[in-house]
């Protein structure tokens, strides 16, 4: 029997196996189950890796997915697109990330985190523009004081948005190296 999207019913079991394998640090096994051709399994792998703190490995695997799928979020890939938007945000591509967050918010009105993500992107972009303006134009001191005040205000607003919890947080592992056996994937 097939599910509504045409996948075998055991797809849910395979997704669960991927999730458990990642949780247990059996990355190679999870990678083998996901393969590279089924976007649903690859999506499950990326989500599991990212949530477990294997951000760099998730980034390598998400690169296998068509950027159009990631940039134009739609069910069942909203969570995958959200992760992609977070990655773009982390890399400083604020405009691209904001567009993805906004599209997610339109698709899923109850996903307030996407709205906070977009707002964070816009604040980051405004702060970058103000800093560039100071570097390029070397404004007089009175203007620099005004710009610094704007930057302070934007930074405070950004801090408030960050406390909303819009970012995916797994634990300290996302910024710390994982054990060697878990940090490699089969190619």
Is 99 found in the same domain as 52? no
User: Is residue 92 included in any domain, yes or no?
Assistant: yes
Cα of 96 vs its chain's centroid, Å: 12
Beta carbons of 178 and 53 less than 8 angstroms apart: yes
Please return the burial class of 75, using the count of CB atoms within 10 Å of its CB with bins 0-12, 13-18 and 19+: exposed
Domain hosting residue 59, numbered range: 9-65
Q: How far is CA 109 from the centre of its chain?
A: 18
Q: In the prediction, which pLDDT does 161 show?
A: 94
Query: Are 88 and 141 in a shared domain?
Result: yes
Q: Which residues contact 64 (CB under 8 A, 6 or more apart)?
A: 36, 42
pTM: 0.80
Q: Are residues 14 and 54 in the same domain?
A: yes
Let me know whether 55 and 124 are in one domain: no
**Domain match, 98 and 145 both:** yes
What is residue 170's predicted lDDT score, i.e. its pLDDT? 65
Are 134 and 147 within one domain?
Answer: yes
Summarised one tens digit per residue, pLDDT across range 99-142 is 999 999 998 876 889 999 999 999 999 999 999 999 999 999 99
The tally of domains found in the chain comes to 2
């Amino acid at each position: 029997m097939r599910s509504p999207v045409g996948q075998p019913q055991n797809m849910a079991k395979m997704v669960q196996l991927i999730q458990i394998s990642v949780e247990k640090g059996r990355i190679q096994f999870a990678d083998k189950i996901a393969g590279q051709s089924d976007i649903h399994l690859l999506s499950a792998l990326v989500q599991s890796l990212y949530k477990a703190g294997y951000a760099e490995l998730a980034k390598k695997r998400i690169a296998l997915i068509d950027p159009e799928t990631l940039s134009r979020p739609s069910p069942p890939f909203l969570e995958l697109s959200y992760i992609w938007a977070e990655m773009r945000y982390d890399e400083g591509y604020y405009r691209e990330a904001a567009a993805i967050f906004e599209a997610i918010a339109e698709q899923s009105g109850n996903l307030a985190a996407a709205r906070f993500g977009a707002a964070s992107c816009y604040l980051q972009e405004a702060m970058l523009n103000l800093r560039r303006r100071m570097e390029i134009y070397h404004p007089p001191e009175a203007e620099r004081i005004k710009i610094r005040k704007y930057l302070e205000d934007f930074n405070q607003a950004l801090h408030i948005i960050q406390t909303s919890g819009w970012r995916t947080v797994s634990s300290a592992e996302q910024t710390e190296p994982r054990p060697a056996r878990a940090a490699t994937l089969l190619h």
